[in-house]
Structure 1
Amino acid sequence: MVMRVRPEPLRGRPKVAVAIPCYNYGHYLADCVRSVLDQEGVDLDVIIVDDASPDGSGAVAEQLAATDPRVRAIARDHNVGHIKTFNEGLDAVDGDFVVLLSADDLLAPGSLARSAALLQAHPDVGMVHGFALTFADELPPARGNLRSWTIWPGQEWLARICGNGGNPVATPEVMMRMSTMRDLVGYDPRVPHACDFLMWLRAAAHGSIGRLNGVDQAYYRVHGANMHTEQYGGAITDIGQRHHAFEIFFEEDGKDLPDVDRLRGAARWALSQEALGIALDTYDHGPEAASPQLAKELAELAVELDPAAADCRLMQALRRTERRVEAGKGPIVPPRVTALRKKVRHHLEWRRRRWSGVESTVKAR
């Protein structure tokens, strides 16, 4: 049963390990590390792992380590990729709790103490998250008024995630119990674009999930180097990687869960509907801006994920749209109306996720 409870104060000074992987983010690194060292109420073990960055990030990391005994630096002499860099940093730190923080992201003030307090008070919780604000240049103001904690039994959290297929958690907002991280043996290289998502699924199979409500825990930087900034072009990879993460999870950590077949089916259906929704989105700006080949590939992916998608409502809408485009006609609903409707829907969903920590189950477009 999901519980929403009153927050409890932090007891003592738990040790929090923060691993900071870095590749070509030397110009962001000092701000990132400062956002960690300014955290109050916890003892810190911070390690920066530079993956042989050609921009001089390794030298920046070593300089930061030389100025504060809580910081260590590892500068690799050859590039091994982000998964091995993540895991090397996590293996090298020690503490009661652990955070993985990309060198281009930041922690919000008070983040670590708030997360640690929940993990202290609820030993059954293996992972806690809050909300990460996105930013490009200027930091938006962060909410600092913690209203409540939500404790999700792992299987209930999994059911919600399978029902919507999406990843509602950004890496910088997450703190894990160190023992949980050790049990999960780090990030999985089989899903390089969804390794964090698979980690969250596995954590939920090992224990409860905690959520901090009404407060912003981190800042997630959005820029051209992020993996998923392309509006549609990366959709097939993104959906495919989440599907692969689900399949690995259900074959390994989740194979003994009650009702596993239903959860697996719900995840496949949710992803198929997401693929069709994106395929329809590619036609929203009229025939001249349409991407028929991408829409076709997304439709094929939807049916591959769940054969029932071949006759679902979204597929029928996609076929009608394709026929209109072939006939040289524009969308039935004017693009301006579609854009406004989409903006309102996305804003409402954003507010829901910001408040509750989860997304709605798959809805009609």
Structure 2
Amino acid sequence: MASVDVVVPSYQYGRYLRGCVTSVLTQDIADLRVLIIDNASTDDSVEVARRLAAEDRRVEVLARPRNLGPHASFNDGIDWARADYFLILCADDLLAPGALARAAAVMERHPGVHLSYGGVVIDSATDPRPSRPAPATAAGWRILSGSALLERFCRTGRNHVPGPTAVVRTSIQKQVGHYRRTLPQTDDLEVWMRFALRGDAAETDVIQGIARVHPLSQSASSRTVHDWNVEFLAAFETFFADDGAALPQAGRLRRLARRALAERAYWCAASHLARGDAALARDLLRFSVRLAPSTAVLPPLTALLRRPDTLERLGRLSADLAAPLRRRFDGSA
């Protein structure tokens, strides 16, 4: 049977750690290892980690004397891994029942698939024991070529691969290499694009993981949509300046990604301006015009037409624009 290694980076997540690691240890994988890497936490994270290791010989602990940042943990995990398949699961996230077996099975059936991922439940609660999805007996997988995966990333200008569900082929991860410290929020997107250069991906709608969103999560440090646009642009620019530079379609794909980011920024600017946030709207509009100068004179209407929720978004925008007029009218009545 296939073997799986899971790295669990942790910092100040003692309250989440047992639930996370238990969700891994209860997977239907006979040959399984877990490495908890603690980044000098000052809560009870190390104590919880060591208790877990004492209870189950499959668990190992690396407790750092000082905080080296999350990328050091990701990259040390890559160096440590030796199983057939590999996953980085942050300590505040969980795996769905059967997730690893489903991922390993599809990659065993398709040797050209080096990355698999699935649906994710977003849990905004602070309860360390969130409700778990019902076990799935089977998953319907779609196989995407590497070129199709890259095309989707660039056409949408975003990352559609949920990190807690991303199981990769370890030998290919070694070829792909480490996460880049220069990309604090979108390092995973840049790694997935490097995977797309080397083979196919498999995706399923079946829930494979639970992602926690809370004030202390890593993604919470980028506070606005403009911050996220800047981070996404950095990931695309880094990829096309390095690993993706030799792609025959590199120029077209880079332009596609920049256009997608510009269009999203434009309509976000309109939305925030309607809600009275002129400063953020200005930043977004400047970003949009920098990437796609034509947006200075022509609204990117095609971006709206491609979206399935266009009418809903236009309705919200109209309501936001009308709100000041309604307030003024009500005040003068």
1:251 equivalent in structure 2:
241
Q: Per-residue deviation at 1:158?
A: 0.7
What is aligned with 2:213? Answer: 222
Query: How far apart are 1:145 and its partner, in Å?
Result: 4.6
Gaps of 5+ in 2: 302-315, 324-333
Contact 1:19 1:99 in 2 (8 A): yes
Matched, 1:307 2:293: yes
> C-alpha offsets along residues 50-106 of structure 1, whole Å, 9 cap, x if unaligned?
000111211211111111110000000001111112111232232000000000000
Match of 2:160 in 1: 168
Counting only pairs closer than 5 Å after superposition, residues 238-317 of structure 1 correspond to structure 2 as 238-285=228-275, 290-314=276-300
Assess, with a 3 A threshold, how the Cα gap between structure 1 residues 262 and 156 changes in structure 2: closer, same or farther: same
Equivalent residue, structure 2, for 1:158: 150
Q: Aligned partners of 2:182, 2:116: CA distance in 1, in Å? A: 24
CA-atom RMSD in angstroms:
2.1
| Residue number in structure 1 paired with 2:117 | 129
Q: Which residue of 2 aligns with 1:25?
A: 13
Q: Distance in 2 between matches of 1:107 and 1:113?
A: 11
Q: Counterpart of 2:182 in 1: which secondary structure?
A: coil
Match of 1:179 among 171, 175, 178: 171
Q: Per-residue CA shift, 1:214-266, capped at 9, x if unaligned?
A: x1000001111224458x94222211111111111112211222222111110
Distance in 2 (CA, whole Å) between partners of 1:141 and 1:171 is 17
CA contact (8 A) 1:107 1:219 kept: yes
TM-score by length of 1: 0.79
Q: How many residues align?
A: 305
Q: Is the 8 A contact 2:274 2:321 kept in 1?
A: no
**What is the rounded CA distance, in whole Å, between the counterparts of 1:299 and 1:145 in structure 2?**
47
- Structure 2: distance between partners of 1:332 and 1:85: 42
Deviation at 1:149, TM superposition (A): 1.3
Instruction: Give CA-to-partner distance per residue, 1:154-186, whole Å, 9 cap, x none.
Output: 011111211110111121010000011101112
Q: Aligned with 1:99: secondary structure?
A: strand
- Structure 1: distance between partners of 2:13 and 2:43: 8
Tell whether the 8 Å contact from 1:42 to 1:112 is kept in structure 2 after alignment. no
Q: CA separation in 2, counterparts of 1:257 and 1:42?
A: 40
| Residue identity (%) | 36
**Contact 1:15–1:96 at 8 Å: present in 2 too?**
yes
**Structure 1 residues 176 and 134 mapped into 2: Cα distance closer, same or farther (>3 Å)?**
same
Which of 37, 40, 44 is the matching residue for 2:32? 44
Cα distance in 2 for partners of 1:332, 1:40 equals 48
Shift of 1:312: 2.8
Aligned to 1:206: 198
Q: Given residue 33 of structure 2, which amino acid in structure 1 is its aligned partner?
A: D
Is contact 1:46-1:93 (8 Å) kept?
no
**How far apart, in 1, do the equivalents of 2:72 and 2:322 lie?**
46
Which structure 1 residue ranges, 5 or more long, are not aligned? 1-12, 316-330, 339-365
Candidates 165, 189, 200, aligned match of 2:181? 189
Whichever residue aligns with residue 319 of structure 2, its letter is P
Tell me by how many angstroms 1:303 deviates. Answer: 1.5
Show the counterpart of 2:60. Answer: 72
SS in 2 for 1:217: strand
8 Å CA contact retained: 2:32, 2:58: yes
Match of 2:327 in 1: none
Q: 1:17 to 1:280 in 2, by over 3 A?
A: same
Counterpart AA for 1:236: H
